[in-house]
Amino acid sequence: MADYTIEIDQLNKTFRTPQGPVQALKEIRLHVKPGEFVTVIGPSGCGKSTLLKIIAGLDTDHNGQVLLEKHRIDRPSIEKGFIFQEHRLFPWLTVEKNIAADLPLKNPDVRKRVDEMIELVRLQGFEKAYPRELSGGMSQRVAIARALMRNPKVLLLDEPFGALDAFTRSHMQEVLLDIWVRNKTTMILVTHDIDEAIFLANRVVIMNARPGTIRKLVPIDLPYPRKKASSSFQELRHLVLSEFEKVEELELIDSSGI
């Protein structure tokens, strides 16, 4: 097994716009261990989603080194699962066919794997349901199952619960943690929610904006399951929030021209 699942060194990303070049990411360095759960937070426009797309191989126009188990990432592949904020299911396919995607359910090995994924995301009894018959949280569980179907080396999640109500979001956090514990998949999740970032992660990455840089890496040394109301959780929340507020202060100074 490689020392790191993901290795990012000296990553720079610049967008070309009619108004001129805009640097989205600057000198990003991040190494993620096998089986680690990393969350990324930062203000809007700091390049969180851009970073995730580069790791996924969806954006290859950048400078610097981005490796998956020592191999350069230069295109999308089944080794990298990606979950968007919207579930993006095929509305004409059932739950089980959405999970199988282009694989034949008549194949016994595919059938067995789909059944395992349905059990993993707690959707037994909904195999024949269509996306229109599912709640938002259930649809995201199908999307997660589909991404895990081919056993990716890393699962990338771009604010997957942002459109859900608070109760469903909390439930989905529990579901995702259960999947992570049982599947041992390396995960990187982008979120705006500080509590979510701490609740899920082994490490929280706090980013500055304009251009996007890593401000601080915060290890979360709390045992699972975590209680958001506990004093230890709130202490870490205060630490992360104070760093996040410093980022916002820099944003205000930058926008005012001081």
Quick: pLDDT tens for 58-90.
Answer: 999 999 999 999 999 999 999 999 998 888 899
- CATH architecture under which domain 6-79+156-256 falls: 3-Layer(aba) Sandwich (3.40)
Q: Is the dihedral of CA 207, 213, 218, 220 positive or negative?
A: positive
pLDDT tens-place string over residues 194-219: 999 999 999 999 999 889 999 999 99
- The side-by-side arrangement of strands in the sheet containing 203-208 is 80-83, 154-158, 186-190, 37-41, 203-208, 213-219
- Does position 2 have pLDDT exceeding 80, yes or no? no
Rounded to two decimals, the pTM is 0.93
64 - beta bridge partners? none
Output the CA–CA distances (angstroms, integers) from residue 180 to 55, 80, 110, 145, 202, in the order listed: 19, 15, 21, 12, 12
pLDDT value at residue 258? 36
Range(s) of the chain covered by CATH 3.40.50.300: 6-79+156-256
Residue 132 is classified by DSSP as G
pLDDT value at residue 255? 45
pLDDT value at residue 52? 97
Average pLDDT of the chain, as a whole number: 92
pLDDT value at residue 250? 58
Q: Is the preceding peptide bond at 225 cis, omega within 30 degrees of 0?
A: yes
Tell me how far apart the alpha carbons of residues 231 and 71 are, in angstroms, rounded to a whole number. Answer: 42
- Does position 143 have pLDDT exceeding 90, yes or no? yes
Which residue is associated with the tokens 């949280």?
Answer: 137
pLDDT value at residue 257? 39
pLDDT value at residue 209? 87
What mean pLDDT comes out for the span 240-249?
Answer: 81
Residue 99: enclosing H or E segment and its boundaries? helix 95-100
pLDDT tens-place string over residues 145-170: 999 999 999 999 999 998 899 999 99
